[in-house]
Structure formats: C-alpha cells, structure tokens
Amino acid sequence: MLLRMSTLLLRTLREDPADAEVPSHRLLLRAGYIRRAAPGGYTWLPLGKLVLDRITEVIRSEITAIGDQEVHFPALLPAEPYRTSGRWTEYGDDIFTLADRKGAQHLLAPTHEELAALLVKDLFTSYRDFPVTLFQVQTKFRDEARPRAGVLRGREFLMKDAYSFDLDEAGLQAAYDRHRGAYRRIFDRLGLDYTVVRAMSGAMGGSASEEFLAATPVGEDTFVGCTSCDYAANTEAVTTPPPAAGDPDAHPPVEVHDTPDTPTIASLVELANTRRLGGRDDWTAADTLKNVVLTVRRPGADVAEPLVIGVPGDREVDLKRVEAALAPAAVAVFEEWDAHPELVRGYIGPQVMAKLGVRYLVDPRVGPGSAWLTGANEPGRHATHVVSGRDFTPDGTIEAAEVRAGDSCPSCSSGELTIRRGIEVGHIFQLGRRYTDAFAVDVLGPEGKPVRPTMGCYGIGVSRAVAAVAEQHHDDRGLVWPAAIAPCDVHLVAAGKGPQLEAAVDLGGRLAAAGLRVLVDDRTGVSAGVKFTDAELIGIPRAVVVGRRLAEGYVELRDRATGERTELPVPELVDRLV
C-alpha cells in the first residue's frame, strides 16, 4: 500500500482544537485521523480508518482463533424483543428509539443479546448444536448523557460483541475463560497497559463480570488495585464498608443515594433565584449560596477546583457558571459551611448530582450540621469514601477532594488498595439464562428432555480502543503508534524537490512492493520543517528522510518512539525495513 500526502484527504492542524480536552482527542483531530460530524459522531479520515481496521483485524484474528463465528445483525430493530427482555425500559434514555412510517416503534441497537438468543432459537434444535459463539463488529448507538473526548465516548461507535451459548455452567465458564484469554492477547497486541477488574454487569444483567481498563488519568472509570495480591475492582463494584463499631475514629454512616429522576440545573437555579427555602422567609437561596462551595475535579486533574456558585452580593445564581463547572467534571464535591444545611444536603446537592447523573454519598464528617456530598459523574457509579478535602487553604477553599475506596484489600486482607483511573476498553459477562429465559430458548437434551442454554457476552469498544491507544502512546510532539496498529509502517519524507522527491517516490514504490504500508510525503509547496513536524504528529513508527545526503547515496532512518536516527545506504533500506 502506498499513500501519497500530496493527494491524501488530510489536513493537519497546528493549534489544539478548542473543544478537545483530552490528549487523544486533541491529537487524533490535529493529526487528521478523525473529524467531528455530529454530537458524539465522528468521521474516520483515511489514516484513522486504517488504524480502526487494523485494530478490528487484531480482534477478529484472536476471536476467530477461539472458534467464534462472525455474523452481522441489523442495527435498526423493532422494539418487541427489547420489550420482551425488559431492556426497552431498563436502558431508559440511553437508547435511540424511532417509529417507522406505520408508527411501529423501533430502536437503534445498543447491543444484541436479544437478537443472538432469537437467532439460536430460530436455527438450533438439539444439544448436539452446542456450544456455539457468535460475534460481530458493528456500529452501536447509545444516547449517552455526556458524549465526550471524541471517539472515547460516542453516541455512535464501533463495538465487537460476542455471544456464547452453552448447555451448562462448566461450558459457560470455559467460554468465559476463552474470551478472557483472547482479550488479554488482543490488548497485549494493541500495546495497551491495562488491568482486568471485577465489575458490575450493568444493563446486561447476569453475574460474573470483568472489565479491561486501560490505565490513564483521563479514564472515566475509577478502580482499586491491591498492593500485594492481584485483586482489582471497579469502584462501582466495591461496596461501602460499614463504620467499625466502637472505633472512636469511625465516621458516621455514609448514606448512598440514587439521584431523583428529572431535575435540571435550570430548575435548581430557578428555585434558587425565586423561592424561599428551609421554612425561613428571610433566607433566599441566593443569599445562602454565597457560602456554598462546589468543588469540581476535572478528568486528569490532581487537584480539585473550588467554584463558589454564589458570591456575596450576588442576587442571582449564574446558570452558565454552574453548568460550565459541571459539564466536564469527573468528581463534584459539595462542601457547605455556614450555609443552610437542608439547602445543600437536601436540595442543591441532590439536584446537581442528578444533573451529573450520579449516585452520590452524603458523608457527614465535615462537622455538626454539615456534610460532603460526593459523586463521580458516571451513571450507576458512586464514590466509596471521601478521604481528603478536610485541608483548607488559607483562603478557605478546599485544596483537594479525592474519592477512594476504604479499608484493606477484601481478597487478601493484608495489602492496601490504591486507586487509579482507566478507560473501559472491554467487558466480559456471564449472563446466565436471562435472555434464553425471556425468549424460551429450549433445545432437545441428550435424554430427550428440553434444555435451556446459558449465555455469556463479550464486548470490546473498537473505536474507543483507537483513542485508548492514542492516550497511552503519545508525547508532546504527537502520536506514537505501536507498530502492530499504525496506519503505515514507514513514513517517507522527501526533504527537497527534484532528485529527493523522485527518490522518495521510487523508494516508496519499492517498499510497498515488498509488502509494507507506506506513506510518502511528496508535497511540493511545503518546507522540510513542516514535513518533519507533521511526521511526528502523525506518529508512524519509522520515518525515512530523503534529504541532502542522497547525493552521496544515504537516507536517514528515524525511530518515532526513541528519536534514534541512523544513516543508511539507499540499497540497504528495503532489507532493513522489511
């Protein structure tokens, strides 16, 4: 494969795009891999599509190697199977629903457990047909509350999803273990630093479940890992430990709340601006809010930023200020002092937590009549403890607020739990018979009696994996792709016109003929400096500079990751690279 920069659909950007907060998003946009096309929807440009396809191929090869068979379900589906399984309502606002011209309700599938179960029911009749595992690589649709960070959380994204069917628990366990092994090989090949953590099953239902979290501070998942054994768990799956009885340091019980259904920030502000609260006619919320500090820790930030949402003299709460503070928040902590306790604990806190869509904690340790409300901005997840935040800076604001799992390791009880953040790139579940029960999937058993298969399901965020790899493989000059999934193997830079350009194109042809994926920078109206900068931004593992020393028969080989440069005689180049 030979791509020429002079004709490639690629425009690199010098400046960071204003709306891109995390490194992978910034770099994928700047280096011309993706382009935003819709809220939570991205166009894959040629270089991006190559990476996406290479990742897909790594996944496909490992998944077919364990015997899974590839199918392709429709994404546009009638509501009925999802009503039968209960997920039409369980998924709630997360699914895109639509009606056809006759008014029949449909959805754009968020995953396909229902369809897989129905397909097996349709085609298989005997125990002899089992086990079987089906998989597909397909665009999924979810109306995410907060699409973010480019392809990291889209409303439309590519997923590899697999569904296993076995007749007994041992079979399901074997299928689960097979996928766990394949996932490890896949994420190793993608060059990801990841941890397998215990997880909650979420909207899939089922029992055993593990997530593959790629460690990075911009990840939305918080997980704990033990310092002495291999225990690791998503904090979603860690339960809040009760306070130790009789322990003088034990803090009062932490209450965990689900957020109310439909409040909005606008309603909070309207209420704060117009109504009198707490049964005291002389207190308006605007008066009270001057003493409420909302502390927001943004993804990737070590330190929380205090944001006073009402300041002395303010007559009105500023909606824009509140919303701007909340939109990118990873963790929001309310700390009230000298404020009306009911206002914070009973009203503003819950309202804002609901806006964030989080479960939250009320931790009454701040002092009599006050509390911290802490939540992590992910539906279904909640903080387990607030451990710091007590430390005030001289101007009276909170220095840092952290969410941490308490107590020693629940597995070995000798190690300590440390906390990290990660991106969920894969998730495997033992579903059991939830879906086969829902659709009465029965086949003839060996003794002539019907048996009902048990299911597992196994997902990988393919498009998200592109961003996760970019998040872990970049430096301040640009992307640094692992060789196994780079868009090209070699980036040839013609650092000069005339003979250099001709030689670069010729060498590109020879390398491509030898089976390499080659990008040649054959642009003429662009300086060598710009070409070098672009090559580093694009991040292909090896660059070959065809420059001044061509006259003496040499080119320069540059290693993107190490920065190492080697001069090579032209005739040796092909052998060296293939």
Binding positions for ligand ATP, rule: CB under 6 A: 111, 142, 144, 153-154, 157, 159, 202, 424-427, 459, 461, 463-464
Q: Which is nearer to ligand ATP, 144 or 305 (CB)?
A: 144
DSSP code for 358: -
Q: Which is nearer to ligand ATP, 157 or 165 (CB)?
A: 157
Q: Which is nearer to Mg ion, 382 or 427 (CB)?
A: 427
Q: Which is nearer to ligand ATP, 112 or 355 (CB)?
A: 112
Q: Which entry of Mg ion, ligand ATP, none binds 432, CB below 5 to 8 A by partner kind?
A: none
Smallest distance, ligand ATP to C-beta of residue 224, A: 16
Q: Which entry of Mg ion, ligand ATP, none binds 473, CB below 5 to 8 A by partner kind?
A: none
Q: Which entry of Mg ion, ligand ATP, none binds 194, CB below 5 to 8 A by partner kind?
A: none
* Residues in CB range of 351: below 8 A, 6 or more apart: 260, 263, 265, 267, 268
Count of CB atoms situated within 10 Å of the CB of 123: 9
* Residues in CB range of 447: below 8 A, 6 or more apart: none
Whether the link from the prior residue into 252 is cis, omega within 30° of 0, is no
Q: Which entry of Mg ion, ligand ATP, none binds 461, CB below 5 to 8 A by partner kind?
A: ligand ATP
Q: Which is nearer to Mg ion, 110 or 539 (CB)?
A: 110
End-to-end alpha carbon distance in the chain: 13
Q: Which token pair is 23?
A: 């490194």
Answer yes or no: are the C-beta atoms of 294 and 309 closer than 8 Å. Answer: yes
Residue 80 backbone dihedrals phi, psi, to 5 degrees: -50, -55
Smallest distance, ligand ATP to C-beta of residue 114, A: 14
Smallest distance, Mg ion to C-beta of residue 111, A: 10
Question: Rounded distance, CA 196 to CA 384, Å?
Answer: 20
Smallest distance, Mg ion to C-beta of residue 74, A: 22
Smallest distance, ligand ATP to C-beta of residue 106, A: 20
Q: Which is nearer to ligand ATP, 221 or 534 (CB)?
A: 221
DSSP per position, 191-237: T--EEEEE---GGG--S-EEEEEEE-TT-SEEEEEESSSS-EEEGGG
What does the binding site for Mg ion look like in residue numbers (CB under 5 A)?
424, 427
Q: Which is nearer to Mg ion, 121 or 427 (CB)?
A: 427
Which residues is 153 bridged to in the sheet? 148
Q: Which is nearer to ligand ATP, 456 or 508 (CB)?
A: 456
Handedness of CA 27, 29, 34, 38 (dihedral sign): positive
Q: Which entry of Mg ion, ligand ATP, none binds 299, CB below 5 to 8 A by partner kind?
A: none
C-alpha dist (Å) from residue 27 to 128, 232, 466: 51, 30, 12
Handedness of CA 479, 483, 484, 490 (dihedral sign): positive
Q: Which is nearer to ligand ATP, 159 or 503 (CB)?
A: 159
Smallest distance, Mg ion to C-beta of residue 219, A: 11
Smallest distance, ligand ATP to C-beta of residue 462, A: 8
Residue 150 backbone dihedrals phi, psi, to 5 degrees: 65, -125
Q: Which token pair is 278?
A: 């707490």
Smallest distance, ligand ATP to C-beta of residue 142, A: 5
Question: Rounded distance, CA 466 to CA 380, Å?
Answer: 25
Question: Rounded distance, CA 528 to CA 294, Å?
Answer: 50
Q: Which is nearer to ligand ATP, 53 or 144 (CB)?
A: 144
Smallest distance, ligand ATP to C-beta of residue 182, A: 15
How far, rounded to the nearest angstrom, does the alpha carbon of residue 70 sit from its chain's CA centroid? 25
List of E strands, 9-110: 34-38, 41-44, 69-70, 76-78, 96-99, 105-108
Which residues is 60 bridged to in the sheet? none
Opening angle at CA 533, ends 575 and 217, nearest 5: 100
Smallest distance, Mg ion to C-beta of residue 462, A: 14
